[in-house]
Structure 1
């Protein structure tokens, strides 16, 4: 099953590269027709897709946040993003989800214009 998925993904990547290269060549030919002596060479370089996974799962990240809050008064989104290597948007969404869940020991507090998270 996994080999079939990789095979299908490979064919999809090649097909997309060929279609994009063809569309780019047609674009040049259509809009630059006033340069008949111009030679346009389209080099199609396959895109390398790689899945970058985070080192920690959500349960581990929650444990990290709780451990941090045991030694500090509050946790900011920036600090959580730095600890977990998430983007700031993802870090904020995850902390908000933790705060909304009554079973989780994290609470959202707004201080001025800044969101901070404390231990319940």
Structure 2
């Protein structure tokens, strides 16, 4: 389940390769928010619990000034049928079509939709989800 997840307008799902630098994550999130026209929107970062030991994620969240919530695999699996993209590598490693998309959808809660499908660059991936009424 989500632990200490604040109420947000959009959920930003993050996936990354091991050792991904925070600068890559920050740049991708900034670009994704601009593309989705969500720059001045309350947001929170969500990712897979397996990423808890990634220092780049924690540093990126601090730089962005956004909370970072780690979600258990089962929570991500529950929304996996709503993911728009599929990575064979992520499927093989985690049994999920996309960490970024499933984290965004799960973080945004029931009835959420992808506002921006997965974007990837420099070892990081990002997706944005929100509720239909947002």
TM-score band, normalised by the shorter chain?
under 0.3
**Pair member with larger Rg:** 1
Greater RCO, 1 or 2 (C-alpha within 8 Å, sep 6+): 2
More helix by share: 1
More strand by share: 2
TM-score, reference length from structure 1: 0.27
